[in-house]
Structure formats: C-alpha cells, structure tokens
Chains A and B, each alone.
Chain A
C-alpha cells in the first residue's frame, strides 16, 4: 500500500512539474555562448547556418573539410538548442534518435563540466563545441558568437 502511495504521489509530482514548467529556459544569460574549435584548425569563422546544420546532423564537415567531432556542453545545452538550433530539447533529441538508430551519425561527445569541453576541443583538431565566453581558454578559438 505504501509503495502504491509513493508511486501515486511521484506520478502526481511529475505531472505537476510538467504542467508548471512548459519549457525550461535560461532567460537571463549574463554571457553569450561562443562556438569553439581547436586553435590549429584552419576554420576562422562559421555562420549560424553552418553551426545549425552540424549540430542537427545535416552536415558532417567543418568548413576546412575535416569530419566534425561534435561536443556538447550539458549545463548550457538547452540554451544552445534554443538559440543556436532554434529547437526545443525534445525536438533535438528526437532528431538525434533518428540519426543514431539509422546509423547515419554519431552522438556528440557530452561533458557536464565546461572545462572538459574546452580540454577535449583543445586536444582534437577536428572537434567543435560551445562554451560561455568566460570559459574560453588556451588551445581553442571562437568561430561564432550566438546572438
């Protein structure tokens, strides 16, 4: 009986949480998001469209022609999806599920610490990720700033 109660209240909680927060948003970002690549990569700048195509799996190559290694920065992933890809998290996830299950693309490497994103990009010449401007450090360079 207790387990049933717990289940019920958990279910109710999930339902309430869902109704109360339709879309999670980081409304007041103090810093902008920048798209970064390895400093040795020949790419110097990318358009919003190029970034969007890469992170939606509609293109596989960086502007220098190398095969892109996508890196996801989990703490700001939702914000990136919304502002760079112009899609809700669920849409991005559904799109990637399609790509993964049909073997058409590899899932982006994901880190929950921005320092790891920067470290990974600085170690892989064809990697591309995104971080807040404050997290930019050596070994990487910004190729696009989100508006």
Chain B
C-alpha cells in the first residue's frame, strides 16, 4: 500500500488524477519510501455538511536505492485525518517509524567511529548516532485544498524529524495554484525544502580524526533547495491529457535531488532547469 504521507500520496502516480505533471519533488522527496507492506483501516463520517475521513495504518518496508544503499522502515504506524466541506479539504497526517540505512560508505563511517571509541571514549555517543540502525523518525504534514472552480489552490507543509543525527531533519512545503479554461489548465507551483537540523558534531581535534570529521561534514552537506514550476495540462481528447512543465530548481549547495555522486551533469549550487512532457491516460 502507498504510505499516505502526503495529500496526494494515494494517487501521486496516477497522472490523470492530478492537474500538475508531478508533485513537487522538493516536498515529496521527504519520504523516499513511498509504499510499504501493511494494512490500514479507513472510516468515514458525515457530520452535517462535513465529510470526515480517518485512516490508521501499520507497515514495514525495505528498499534498495541505486543498488548503493538500503533504507528500511520498521514498526511504521500512522494516521491521517481529513475534513472536507464545500470547496475545502483539510488534511493532517502523522507517521512514526524506525528507520535504518545501510550503504558501504555509511558502514565504513560507522565502523570507523566505533573503532575510534577505544581511543576516544567521547566518540561513543556519535558512533551510536551514526550506526544508522532503527532510529525513530517521525513525519507530519498538513495540507489544504481549495477548489473554487475554475480556480484551485493546494498547499502542504511537512516535516521529517529523526531522533538521532545520522540523517538530517527537514521541513518542506509547496503551494500550487491553477485555473481551468476549457480544456486547458495552466498552473504554477512553488516549493521549498529546508534542512532543520544542521547538527554540528564535535570530534576531538586530533589529526587522526580529520577523515571522520570530513565524512561527517559531507553527510551534513546542505540539502536545501527551492523550485518554481510553470505547467499546462491539456485535456486534448477523451481520457487523455498532455502536460508540459518548465521547472527551475535553485540550491545553495548540493541540494537534495542531486545526491548521487554519479550525477555530474550539473555543478553543485548551479540552478537546474527541467523541461518535462507527459501523456496521461485513464479508463
């Protein structure tokens, strides 16, 4: 099942259901594990004019990323609560899970730190933070959709917090606004991603630890980025929609979308322009 982190999680891959070409990457990358194996309970109530939908879910998942690293999510538990009334839909979500991350680099860093503790006892705490095992992570989000046909607006604010230092905590949000005109739906999307825990790790200042210090600093390389996208959906035929999107991603440093070492298309901190064209079908 798709983990309902976000407002459009359930149908984020159903192109036809969404006005925009894709959900804003800056925000949606906060939850790289989009689905897990588990189960959920859904319930609906109607209180007068208000439709209330609540969902409780449990699950777990292990997933490889680019064959370099593995992220696993255990003991995932969460809830969503949505209120719909007239033109508005307001939604809250919360997920709590134990996150583990494994990769060669990461294991080497962990082993190095663990090995160092015999010489520098003060490393023990840092080593524990960086073992990448079962750290409690929480995700919370709030989203609002307004459909004032032909205008529509959607906005979400989300945070991902991790109890220990090994992965940074982030906050992200976006606003999308669009207008339906006959078969055309132009839209504008603005989103931002900001690191909220720029943890400074203080290692004893001895030359033997220079390498570890550099590795830790790299792990905290700022993932901040912002993007602005201008797009157009064209419902050109029954059950078919074509979408184009022009997107500009700006980042003070490396950014969060460009974390693979192999990505050498762009220099760090350069703006990235992205042009996309998709064709969506429904039945």
Whether A associates with B in a native complex is yes
Checking B19, B46, B180, B183 against A60 with a beta-carbon cut-off of 8 angstroms, the contacting residue is B46
Judge if B238 is at the interface, Cβ distance under 8 Å.
yes
Q: Check A91/B17 contact, CB under 8 A, given A58-B51, A101-B11, A104-B53.
A: no
Instruction: Assign chain B's interface to a size class.
Output: 20 to 34
A103 CB contacts on chain B under 8 angstroms? 10, 42
State whether B149 touches A86 (Cβ < 8 A). Answer: yes
Q: Check A97/B237 contact, CB under 8 A, given A23-B183, A86-B149, A87-B149.
A: no
| Interface hits, B1-48 → A, CB 8 Å | 4, 8, 10-11, 14, 16-19, 42, 44, 46
Checking B42, B182, B235, B282 against A97 with a beta-carbon cut-off of 8 angstroms, the contacting residue is B282
A residues contacting B by CB (< 8 A) are 14-15, 17-18, 22-23, 58-61, 86-91, 93-94, 97-98, 101-104
Checking A15, A89, A94, A97 against B236 with a beta-carbon cut-off of 8 angstroms, the contacting residue is A15
Checking A14, A22, A58, A61 against B183 with a beta-carbon cut-off of 8 angstroms, the contacting residue is A22
Q: Check A104/B42 contact, CB under 8 A, given A58-B51, A97-B16.
A: yes
CA of A134 to CA of B237, assembled, Å:
31
Excluding A23-B182, A58-B51, 15 further A-B contacts by CB distance (< 8 Å) are A17-B237, A18-B183, A18-B236, A22-B182, A22-B183, A23-B183, A60-B46, A88-B183, A90-B235, A91-B149, A94-B17, A97-B16, A98-B10, A101-B11, A103-B10
A60 CB contacts on chain B under 8 angstroms? 44, 46, 51
CA of A87 to CA of B238, assembled, Å:
14
Q: How many A-B residue pairs have CB under 8 A?
A: 60
Can you list 29 residue pairs at the A/B interface with Cβ under 8 Å? A14-B237, A17-B237, A18-B236, A18-B237, A23-B182, A58-B84, A60-B44, A60-B46, A60-B51, A88-B180, A88-B183, A88-B235, A89-B238, A90-B241, A93-B239, A93-B282, A94-B17, A94-B18, A94-B19, A94-B282, A97-B14, A97-B17, A98-B8, A98-B10, A98-B11, A98-B14, A103-B10, A103-B42, A104-B42
